[in-house]
Chains A and B, each alone.
Chain A
Amino acid sequence: MRRLLLGLPVLALLAGCGGLLFAELEVPSVTVKLVDQAFPATPTGSDLVTEVRYDLGAQLPSITQPNVKYVLRLTGLELDLTSTSNVADFGGVQEVRIEAIPPAGSPLAPVELVSYLKPPPPADQNPTSIVATGQTNVDLAPYLVAGQLTLRVTAKGSLPTSPWNASVLGSFFLKLTLDYGDVVKP
Chain B
Amino acid sequence: MRTLLLLLALAAPAAALADGELPGAEATVPADLPPPPAPPPSASPAPSAPSLPRLGLEVDLGVPDGAVVALVYRPVQVLRLSAGPAWNYLGFGLRVGATVAPFRWAVSPTLSADYGHFFDADARFIADRSSGVPAEVRPLLEKVSYDYLGGQLGLEIGSPRGLAFFLRGGIAYVWTTVRGTSQALRSSSSGQAVVSVSDPRLRATIPTLDLGVLYFF
Contacts and interface: CB of A to CB of B under 8 A. Distances in A.
Contacts of A183: none
Contacts of B197: 27, 29-30
Interface residues on B, range: 20 to 34
Interface in B150-181: 151, 171, 173
B188 A13 contact: no
A20 B171 contact: yes
Nearest to A35: B192
Contacts of B151: 9-10, 12-13
B196 A13 contact: no
Contacts of A35: 191-194
Contacts of A12: 151
Contacts of B200: 25-27
A21 interface: yes
Interface string B184-202: 0011111111111111111
B138 to A, nearest CB: 17
A151 B68 CA distance: 53
Contacts of A121: none
B178 to A, nearest CB: 10
Contact of B201 (A20, A26, A54): A26
Interface string A20-38: 1111111111111111110
A97 B66 CA distance: 52
A27 B181 CA distance: 11
B187 A2 contact: no
Contacts of B113: 9
B205 A25 contact: no
A136 B59 CA distance: 49
B29 interface: no
Contact of A20 (B186, B190, B193, B205): B205
B202 A25 contact: yes
Contacts of A34: 190-193
A137 interface: no
B75 interface: no
A122 interface: no
A59 interface: yes
Given A13-B171, A13-B173, A20-B171, A31 B195 contact: yes
Interchain residue pairs A-B with the least CB separation, the first 8:
A58-B188, A55-B188, A23-B204, A29-B198, A33-B194, A26-B201, A31-B196, A9-B151
13 contacts: A9-B111, A17-B173, A20-B205, A21-B205, A22-B204, A23-B202, A26-B200, A27-B198, A27-B199, A27-B200, A28-B199, A33-B193, A35-B194
Interface of B: 100, 102, 111, 113, 151, 171, 173, 186-207
Given A23-B203, A59-B186, 15 more contacts: A5-B100, A13-B205, A22-B205, A26-B201, A27-B200, A28-B199, A29-B198, A30-B197, A32-B195, A33-B195, A37-B190, A53-B189, A58-B188, A59-B188, A59-B193
